[in-house]
Amino acid sequence: MDAPRKHQVSLRGASAKEITRDDLLQKVSRERELRNYAKRAAAAALFVQRVWRRFKVTKMVALQLQQEWEMSVNNYNGVMTANWISNNLLRPFLFFVTRFSNWYRKVHSKKTDSMRICFTILLESLNSSDSKLNYCFLAIGTSEERIIWCYQAQRLISLGFSVLSEYSECNSGAQDITVVTSLAMRILVMLTDLKGWKGITDDNCLDADLAVKGLVEFIGSSKSGSYVSIARYISALDKHSSQMKVVTQADEKFFITASAITLAVRPFSLTNFDGERPCMLNGNHAAKQYILYLMSIPWLVQHIPPVLLPALKHKSIMFTCFQALLILKEDVLMEMSELVNSEVLVSFKDIPPVGWSLANFICLATGKENNYVDSGSFNQGLDCALYVHVIVTLTESLLACLDNIEWLKKKKSLQTDAESSTHESLIMPYMDQFRPVCQQWHLTNLLASVNRDATNKAETSISNSLECLGKLDLCDIALFYSNLLRVFSAFSPIRGSLPVLNMLSFTPGFLVRLWSELEDSFFSEDNHMSDNHLSENGNHKAFEKIPKQASKDGASKWVSVLHKFTGKSQTATDCTDPIDSHSAPSKVNLEPSDVWDIEPMRQGPQGIPKSMFAVLHLFCATYSHLLLVLDDIEFYEKQVPFKLEQQRRIASMLNTLVYNGLSHVSGHRNRPLMDCAVRCLHLMYERDCRHPFCPPDLWLSPARKSRPPVAVAARTHEIISANLRSDDSSSSPSLGSVITVTPHVFPFEERVRWQRWKSGRFSRVTGSREIPGQSDSEVEDEELEEYEEDEEFEKYFDDAT
């Protein structure tokens, strides 16, 4: 075969080296991408040139039009009628004033001068009583005049709020921008107030009223940008804005602030009409914008002068906001969470917007003009039911986003740096805004509302879900304070939830009322009768032999399960258990033990109804706090706040709840309840050890049928302790095993075995000489190896860990 030629002829007719098919396709694809990129670059260049030319030409035309407009206005000597103002004054003005850029000082000065001239002429026209000179009379003129007037009025409203936003960003001491802002606010207030229109008669009052309502509705929509501009202005105010050094400047600034507040609350008047205009809460409703931008302002109550606070506290404003938030809570909370990443308002790194909304609602609902955190009563006409539901909604949203706050992450990771002190200095005054909820009058007024609703419940019928929100019961108040306890524990660096717990613990009758609610829900009539029967007899001798029997019952259950899977004989298994190797137990009537095993608590926190979850959490937290200061005379002799029969029911309920909560998988949501329940249970058990008031069988009853062997519980304790050390979790009463948190559910003999088992394992690990009489540890290890092969053990171990 001939050798390949030096030069090859390609299909294109030229001598070239042939390439493979893949290389050719890759080359063609790359050339195609380059051509497409060149086309896109050319199109982008043309677009940029077109935009730049449009901007440049528009700017030139605007500057030229502004000069001509200024000359025509200054040289005009005729009568400035309403038509002349609309055609010759506002039409060119609204065109060129929105095309000016604020980057250049010279252009900004021209823009300010033009606005001052236009606003002055327009304000004189609005104050005129002549129908031909007053600009507002165009709103009731011909159809063409009405359309033009409506468009120009809406543009003036947007321009006025834009001026207010610029005024908040620039130096407030600049006299020119202060005058222009004051004139703009005067015009907006007069345009949106029918009482400020001069010369309106009864014949044209209806048309003028509809025109004003249209402007007010436009202010409440998101198109006008009203609430964003007002929020920026209020955020830029000093915390004591009513005290200014310059009197004239303070008067102008106060007037601007008063006008901004007036315009902010004016759209709420549209919700009181009867059929003339739809007032449904849509996406652009004023209440939604008001909640999103104004109620999320940090230190809102401190920024506003005290004399203007009653406008924000009025019952019509608060009721509309409560109603809008409860109906549109998904949309409102979602958009409020997006404010963190936006640059509309201040930074929300330390506290999210929902946290500031929560504090502002509490201050506005409870504070007075002279002292916004200590008033002694709610605002007059406040709907307490809607108030409670709104605070519950906001606290739940705040607790859901606590993990996203940077300083709380640092606090949980135990990192100390210079920023932590800065955050602590911010949190302390922030938590001071929650001072009203720590007062007794706050709780007593809410309880009084519950009593009023209970009396009126039979007279009124509930027709929809909104009316359901207007009803208040004890479960709602419990959820209110339960969420606040978690908020205080998360935010307050030093005091924690102590202010709320002190108030709840020493409010007369509140703890008894909570227990009555729990007792009606968790205790049946049979349990009541059995409990009363046992307590009246007072003979606890019948309970002395039951703990041992319960121990044998629980262990025999595990031995029987072991028989099924290992196939061992009963005698072979009996010899491995030094306690179960005794004579077979005789049947004893264990019905009294079932009295103390509360059935609704057998599934732990997962089995508690949602309506009772907050009531139980609040009761455990409050009663554990009260037990710290409750002496034995009050507990045993005076029997306050509960009788000893009720104390036994409380102890049985907590004992069953804690044991089953530790035995089953408990999520992060149940951690606050378990912590409070464990703390309260330990306090009651310590008091019973010092001076018994419960039968011994009460503490053993939850684990009588499901108690694991002591070896299994000990090994579970080791695994849980190792996991806690590896996760570096904070110490919590509920983070533990059954044998450490509730050792009293094990009989005394099994607890001794556990201690001996621990001592034996320690001696083998350290190599020390074992103490005589502790050889049972080897037997325990053999039992544990047998149990680890059991599926029943795997199920229990998975639930426990």
Does the structure show a pLDDT above 50 at 653? Answer: yes
Q: Do 574 and 595 sit in the same domain of this protein? A: no
Highest mean pLDDT of the ranges 103-117, 693-707, 755-769: 693-707
What is residue 788's predicted lDDT score, i.e. its pLDDT? Answer: 45
Q: How far is Cα 430 from Cα 435, in angstroms, rounded to an integer? A: 10
Instruction: For residue range 557-612, list pLDDT tens digits in order.
Output: 444 433 433 344 443 334 333 333 333 333 334 455 567 888 888 888 988 998 89
Exposure on the CB side of residue 638, measured as CA atoms within 13 A: 8
Listed residues 657, 679, 703: the one ending a domain: 703
| Beta carbons of 442 and 436 less than 8 angstroms apart | yes
pLDDT on residue 720:
59
Encoded amino acid at 780, one letter: E
Q: Are residues 123 and 161 in the same domain?
A: yes
pLDDT in tens, 541-555: 433 333 333 344 444
Neighbours of 495 (CB within 10 A): 15
Write down which residue in 245, 274, 303 finishes a domain.
274
Give the separation between CA 538 and CA 532, rounded to whole angstroms.
Answer: 10
| CA 312, chain centre distance (Å) | 22
pLDDT band at 226 (very low <50, low <70, confident <90, very high): very high
Whether the per-residue pLDDT at 647 is higher than 90: the answer is: yes
pLDDT value, residue 529? 43
Please report, rounded to a whole number, the percentage of residues in the chain having pLDDT higher than 70: 67
Going by the DSSP 8-state scheme, the letter that residue 15 receives in this structure is B
Q: Do 330 and 474 fall within a single domain? A: yes
In a domain, 653, yes or no: yes
Nearest to 130, CA basis, from 85, 91, 68: 85
Q: For residue 587, what is the DSSP state? A: P
| Domain-located, residue 760 | yes
Which DSSP helix (H) or strand (E) runs through 201? none
Q: Is residue 487 part of a domain?
A: yes
The answer on 444 and 362 residing in a single domain is yes
Same domain, 608 and 743: no
Q: How many domains does the chain have?
A: 4
Which of 595, 589, 562, 548 is CA-nearest to residue 746?
Answer: 548
Residue 4 lies in a domain: no
544 assigned to some structural domain: no
Q: What is the pLDDT of residue 377?
A: 85
Q: What pLDDT does residue 753 have?
A: 76
My answer on whether 572 and 494 are in the same domain is no
99 lies in the same domain as 196:
yes
Considering only CA atoms, which of 42, 104, 91 is closest in space to residue 65? 91
Where residue 698 falls among pLDDT bands split at 50, 70, 90?
A: very high
Q: Is residue 55 part of a domain?
A: no
pLDDT value for 702: 85
Do 92 and 210 belong to one domain?
yes
User: At residue 779, does pLDDT exceed 70?
Assistant: no
Query: Per-residue pLDDT tens for 193-205?
Result: 999 898 888 888 9
| Residues 194 and 244 reside in one and the same domain | yes
Q: Do 158 and 219 lie in a common domain?
A: yes
Within a domain: 109: yes
In a domain, 50, yes or no: no
- Token code pair at residue 169: 């960003």
Do 566 and 501 share a structural domain? Answer: no
Q: Are residues 118 and 185 in the same domain?
A: yes
**For residues 223-227, average pLDDT:** 92
| 669, 687, 703 - which closes a domain | 703
* Mean of the per-residue pLDDT values of the chain: 78
The boundaries of the domain holding residue 601 are: 534-539+591-703
